[in-house]
Amino acid sequence: MNMTHYVVCIFVSGIISLFTTQIYAEQQINVIPVADVKWVALNPARGEKGPRAGTLWGNLRLGEATGFLAKFSDGFSLPPHIHEETYRAVVISGFIHNDDPNAEPMWMPPGSFWTQPRGESHITAAKKGMQGIALVEIDNGPYVVRPPEDAYDKGEKPINIVPANLVWLNLPNTTVSENSPKIAYLLGSIEEGQLNSTFIKLPIGYTGELHSQGSIFHAVVISGEVNYLNQMPAVLEPGSYFGAEGNAIHKIQSAEKTETIIYIRTNAKYELTPS
């Protein structure tokens, strides 16, 4: 175990739960460096050759909101299938195609965002020559895969956004300068109480405090690197996670060599202030 981590035991109805991620009890903050992610088969029926899943929050097999990393081997392609729940996803590494089974390949690079409507038949594939990793999240579990003959249409439309199509704006309530952090709105409203998905982009070497307020707050490093500077510092590479319930302050510093992009899913406003 990394020396920056420890085990916390929580007693609930006589059952002991073990956590190997950093937990800052006074603010209910969880931190998971990607090196500590535990990988399992995404679909156990496919065995070791199928995609792997590394849970960041929630539980893939239960009826709850879940976020996980999906790892696809070189050139792997899932056959046509459907899901019972709409999911959102962000490419972290490699190039990933997700579309109608008859569609021409559209390889989404790192930093791309897409949604997959429930009930719609589709395939997901990783481009040959490199491993593909994506963040995948659902609002209700479990994560279920069904055959294409079970397809149905709920009227939802998929969203596909590649980095070149992102619109970067100044963060609200942030002093604007040449090296100011930026925000890109993806889904929902950032107004308090509404679920929303955004990217924030930190300039090289930026140091600040991210103030989260929502009962839901999940943040995943998509590119670059974050030095997480709370009580037990950690280096967060792409695929790493930090999250909180309620009011919390996340002290973060961007890498010295490249800007950093973080994906955020929350149900409230958040603020980023320099320090």
Domain residue limits, the chain: 37-161, 166-274
- The pLDDT of residue 256 is 87
Q: Token pair for residue 86? A: 């709409």
For tokens 């961007």, name the residue: 254
CA-wise closest residue to 272 among 169, 168, 175? 175
CB 122, CB 81: distance < 8 Å: yes
**Whether the model pTM is above 0.95:** no
- The pLDDT of residue 27 is 64
Q: Given phi > 0 = left and psi -120 to 50 = alpha, else beta, which region is 205?
A: left
- The pLDDT of residue 17 is 29
CA-wise closest residue to 250 among 218, 216, 209, 197? 209
Report the percentage of the chain scoring pLDDT > 90.
69
- The pLDDT of residue 45 is 72
- The pLDDT of residue 5 is 32
CB 200, CB 261: distance < 8 Å: yes
Q: Token pair for residue 32? A: 């998971």
SS3 44: helix
Q: Tens of pLDDT along the chain (275 residues)?
A: 333 332 222 222 222 223 345 554 456 899 999 999 999 988 777 767 789 999 999 999 898 999 999 999 888 888 899 999 999 999 999 999 999 999 998 999 999 999 999 999 999 999 998 889 999 999 998 988 899 999 999 999 999 999 999 999 998 776 677 779 999 999 998 876 789 999 999 999 999 999 999 999 999 999 999 999 997 889 999 999 999 999 999 999 998 889 999 999 999 999 999 98
- The pLDDT of residue 99 is 93
171-188: per-residue pLDDT in tens?
877 667 777 999 999 999
120-174: per-residue pLDDT in tens?
999 999 999 888 999 999 999 898 889 999 999 999 999 999 999 999 999 877 6
Q: In the CATH hierarchy, which fold is given to the domain comprising 37-161?
A: Jelly Rolls (2.60.120)
- Domain 166-274 in the same topology as domain 37-161: yes
- The pLDDT of residue 77 is 87
Domain 166-274 in this protein, CATH class: mainly beta
Residues 6+ apart with CB under 8 A from 66: 55, 57, 58, 59, 60, 137, 138, 141, 143
